[in-house]
Structure 1
């Protein structure tokens, strides 16, 4: 597997809480070798998978972490709010977003499609930039447990190395 794994931290921008304790983890080329995305996530206890698009507005999940893998096409995804990081993702790439991390699609190819999943098949909420929700959202984010498996590598992998100190 020829994969490049990087990570970066995001701070609360006043609109999106993000997660200053856990980095976003980017796996470039994770599924280039034809590894089946949904089956891989399921095998490593990242369940509740779905296939579709990424919203074109800032949103985040305060009650769970999320993995997204590009099944088809390519896109520019903005993570962390308006001043966040722009990620160029293409077929085979994956990202893990810690609870609270804002994300939105800026642009994509017509065939863009992702597979998403959550640790232990958690039911996710969808929060937008709403000051009235911030206090509750921040409290929820702090209580989301670190998963016990990397969504791609299982019991050993970059996510666990970066999230469990």
Structure 2
């Protein structure tokens, strides 16, 4: 497993987070889609981030102002844009995980048809969605 972290500055209407970095973990889990999804759900839950959904990432810019978000890629691959319009583009694939601090803009630019993500939020944090009109 490898990891990287970076800060994102405010970008127009997207605040990002001036105190906490985005963290990206590569090759965290291995297996088929269901094995990886279950492994991320267990891992997130053990750390106090109950898994909340299995789906894709919205294809429009948005952020959550009230909650941090963990994303575990269970299948496929995609290009995500982090930080809002003209932000940082990042390739992600099955087995990768991201931790997005509250306020971090994100969207899916394109993905394979099988792209599947597990989403989780810290216990006690209720997520909202802030965006421009999709």
- TM, length-normalised to structure 1: 0.73
Name the residue aligned to 2:56. Answer: 53
User: CA–CA distance in 2 between the matches of 1:89 and 1:117?
Assistant: 17
- TM, length-normalised to structure 2: 0.90
Name the residue aligned to 2:131. Answer: 128
Structure with the larger helix share: 1
| Residue number among 19, 24, 27 corresponding to 1:21 in the alignment | 19
Report the Cα offset of residue 50 of structure 1.
Answer: 0.8
8 A contact 2:44–2:51 mirrored in 1: no
SS in 2 for 1:25: strand
User: CA–CA distance in 2 between the matches of 1:96 and 1:48?
Assistant: 13
| Residue number among 108, 111, 126 corresponding to 1:108 in the alignment | 111
Task: Pick the structure with greater CA Rg.
Answer: 1
Structure 1 unpaired stretches of 5+:
131-165
Name the residue aligned to 1:156. Answer: none
Structure 2 unpaired stretches of 5+:
none
How many residue pairs get aligned? The number is 128
Structure with the larger strand share: 2
